[in-house]
Protein backbone atom coordinates (compact mmCIF):
# COMPACT_ATOMS: atom_id res chain seq x y z
CA UNK A 1 0.00 0.00 0.00
CA UNK A 2 1.38 3.40 -0.95
CA UNK A 3 0.44 6.89 0.13
CA UNK A 4 -1.04 7.51 -3.32
CA UNK A 5 -3.24 4.41 -3.01
CA UNK A 6 -4.48 5.64 0.36
CA UNK A 7 -5.33 9.02 -1.19
CA UNK A 8 -7.27 7.24 -3.95
CA UNK A 9 -9.16 5.22 -1.31
CA UNK A 10 -9.94 8.50 0.48
CA UNK A 11 -11.28 10.03 -2.73
CA UNK A 12 -13.51 6.98 -3.32
CA UNK A 13 -14.83 6.99 0.24
CA UNK A 14 -15.63 10.69 -0.05
CA UNK A 15 -17.56 10.09 -3.27
CA UNK A 16 -19.40 7.20 -1.61
CA UNK A 17 -20.17 9.47 1.36
CA UNK A 18 -18.73 6.89 3.78
CA UNK A 19 -18.04 9.17 6.76
CA UNK A 20 -16.33 6.56 8.98
CA UNK A 21 -13.94 5.39 6.27
CA UNK A 22 -13.23 8.96 5.16
CA UNK A 23 -12.43 10.04 8.72
CA UNK A 24 -10.15 7.05 9.36
CA UNK A 25 -8.30 7.46 6.05
CA UNK A 26 -7.76 11.15 6.73
CA UNK A 27 -6.30 10.24 10.11
CA UNK A 28 -3.95 7.66 8.53
CA UNK A 29 -2.80 10.07 5.81
CA UNK A 30 -2.22 12.76 8.44
CA UNK A 31 -0.14 10.35 10.56
CA UNK A 32 1.81 9.44 7.43
CA UNK A 33 2.48 13.13 6.78
CA UNK A 34 3.86 13.56 10.31
CA UNK A 35 5.97 10.44 9.81
CA UNK A 36 7.42 11.86 6.58
CA UNK A 37 8.31 15.15 8.26
CA UNK A 38 9.91 13.26 11.14
CA UNK A 39 11.92 11.08 8.74
CA UNK A 40 13.24 13.64 6.32
CA UNK A 41 11.31 16.85 6.08
CA UNK A 42 8.99 18.16 3.40
CA UNK A 43 10.77 16.44 0.50
CA UNK A 44 10.64 12.94 1.97
CA UNK A 45 8.23 10.52 0.26
CA UNK A 46 7.03 7.56 2.35
CA UNK A 47 7.92 4.09 1.08
CA UNK A 48 5.59 1.10 1.29
CA UNK A 49 7.51 0.00 4.40
CA UNK A 50 6.90 3.42 5.95
CA UNK A 51 3.17 3.16 5.18
CA UNK A 52 3.12 -0.31 6.76
CA UNK A 53 4.87 1.01 9.89
CA UNK A 54 2.38 3.86 10.24
CA UNK A 55 -0.59 1.52 9.72
CA UNK A 56 0.76 -0.85 12.37
CA UNK A 57 1.27 2.02 14.80
CA UNK A 58 -2.27 3.27 14.17
CA UNK A 59 -3.65 -0.25 14.72
CA UNK A 60 -1.73 -0.59 17.99
CA UNK A 61 -3.05 2.78 19.16
CA UNK A 62 -6.61 1.62 18.44
CA UNK A 63 -6.10 -1.65 20.36
CA UNK A 64 -4.71 0.28 23.34
CA UNK A 65 -7.59 2.78 23.20
CA UNK A 66 -10.19 0.01 23.03
CA UNK A 67 -8.68 -1.57 26.13
CA UNK A 68 -8.67 1.76 28.00
CA UNK A 69 -12.21 2.69 26.98
CA UNK A 70 -13.57 -0.71 28.01
CA UNK A 71 -11.79 -0.44 31.35
CA UNK A 72 -13.37 2.99 31.83
CA UNK A 73 -16.84 1.79 30.89
CA UNK A 74 -16.97 3.82 27.68
CA UNK A 75 -18.38 1.18 25.33
CA UNK A 76 -19.52 3.67 22.66
CA UNK A 77 -15.97 5.01 22.29
CA UNK A 78 -14.56 1.48 22.30
CA UNK A 79 -16.93 0.56 19.46
CA UNK A 80 -15.81 3.59 17.42
CA UNK A 81 -12.16 2.62 17.90
CA UNK A 82 -12.99 -0.99 16.99
CA UNK A 83 -14.52 0.11 13.69
CA UNK A 84 -11.43 2.19 12.92
CA UNK A 85 -9.18 -0.75 13.82
CA UNK A 86 -11.11 -3.06 11.50
CA UNK A 87 -10.69 -0.59 8.63
CA UNK A 88 -6.96 -0.15 9.30
CA UNK A 89 -6.52 -3.92 9.36
CA UNK A 90 -7.89 -4.18 5.82
CA UNK A 91 -4.76 -2.33 4.66
CA UNK A 92 -2.35 -4.50 6.67
CA UNK A 93 -0.94 -7.80 5.41
CA UNK A 94 -2.46 -11.05 6.70
CA UNK A 95 -1.30 -11.73 10.26
CA UNK A 96 0.32 -15.02 11.24
CA UNK A 97 -1.65 -17.37 13.46
CA UNK A 98 -0.44 -18.19 16.98
CA UNK A 99 0.66 -21.72 16.07
CA UNK A 100 2.98 -20.43 13.32
CA UNK A 101 4.44 -17.89 15.73
CA UNK A 102 5.03 -20.61 18.34
CA UNK A 103 7.04 -22.62 15.79
CA UNK A 104 9.16 -19.57 14.95
CA UNK A 105 9.69 -18.89 18.66
CA UNK A 106 10.92 -22.46 19.18
CA UNK A 107 13.27 -22.16 16.19
CA UNK A 108 14.63 -18.81 17.40
CA UNK A 109 15.29 -20.19 20.89
CA UNK A 110 17.25 -23.10 19.44
CA UNK A 111 19.06 -20.83 16.96
CA UNK A 112 20.15 -18.32 19.63
CA UNK A 113 20.85 -20.93 22.32
CA UNK A 114 18.63 -19.05 24.78
CA UNK A 115 18.11 -20.72 28.14
CA UNK A 116 16.57 -18.10 30.43
CA UNK A 117 14.54 -14.90 30.37
CA UNK A 118 17.84 -13.00 30.40
CA UNK A 119 18.25 -14.12 26.76
CA UNK A 120 14.87 -12.72 25.72
CA UNK A 121 16.44 -9.80 23.83
CA UNK A 122 18.46 -12.13 21.60
CA UNK A 123 15.40 -14.24 20.79
CA UNK A 124 13.20 -11.20 20.10
CA UNK A 125 15.89 -9.73 17.83
CA UNK A 126 16.08 -12.94 15.82
CA UNK A 127 12.29 -13.20 15.59
CA UNK A 128 11.27 -9.66 14.77
CA UNK A 129 13.14 -9.58 11.48
CA UNK A 130 11.28 -12.72 10.36
CA UNK A 131 7.80 -11.63 11.36
CA UNK A 132 7.95 -7.87 10.77
CA UNK A 133 4.48 -6.68 9.87
CA UNK A 134 2.97 -10.16 10.08
CA UNK A 135 2.63 -10.65 13.84
CA UNK A 136 1.82 -8.63 16.94
CA UNK A 137 4.96 -7.83 18.93
CA UNK A 138 3.20 -8.15 22.29
CA UNK A 139 2.00 -11.67 21.43
CA UNK A 140 5.51 -12.66 20.35
CA UNK A 141 6.94 -11.24 23.57
CA UNK A 142 4.38 -13.16 25.64
CA UNK A 143 5.14 -16.45 23.85
CA UNK A 144 8.92 -16.00 24.20
CA UNK A 145 8.51 -15.21 27.89
CA UNK A 146 6.39 -18.37 28.39
CA UNK A 147 9.06 -20.53 26.74
CA UNK A 148 12.02 -19.02 28.61
CA UNK A 149 10.51 -18.93 32.12
Work out the end-to-end distance of the chain between its first and last CA atoms, rounded to an integer number of angstroms: 39
Q: What is the pLDDT along the chain (149 residues), one digit of tens a residue?
A: 888 999 999 999 999 999 999 999 999 999 999 999 998 877 788 888 889 889 989 999 999 999 999 999 999 999 999 999 999 999 988 888 888 888 888 888 888 888 888 888 888 888 887 887 677 777 888 888 888 87
| CATH 1.10.10.410 domain span(s) along the chain | 98-148
Burial degree of 108 (CB within 10 A; 0-12, 13-18, 19+): buried
Kindly state the DSSP code that residue 93 receives in the 8-state scheme.
Answer: P
For the entire predicted model, the pTM comes to: 0.71
Residue-level pLDDT at 31: 95
Q: Give the CATH number of domain 3-90.
A: 1.10.1510.10
d(CA 75, CA 77): 5
Name the fold adopted by 98-148: Arc Repressor Mutant, subunit A (1.10.10)
Q: Residues 34, 6, 40, CA angle at the centre, nearest 5°?
A: 30
Residue-level pLDDT at 106: 87
Residue-level pLDDT at 66: 95
| CATH 1.10.1510.10 domain span(s) along the chain | 3-90
Amino acid sequence: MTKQQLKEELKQSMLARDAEKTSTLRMIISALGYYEIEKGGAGYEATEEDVLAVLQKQAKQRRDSIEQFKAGGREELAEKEQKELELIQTYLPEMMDEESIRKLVDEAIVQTGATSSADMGKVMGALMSKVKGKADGSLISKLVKEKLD
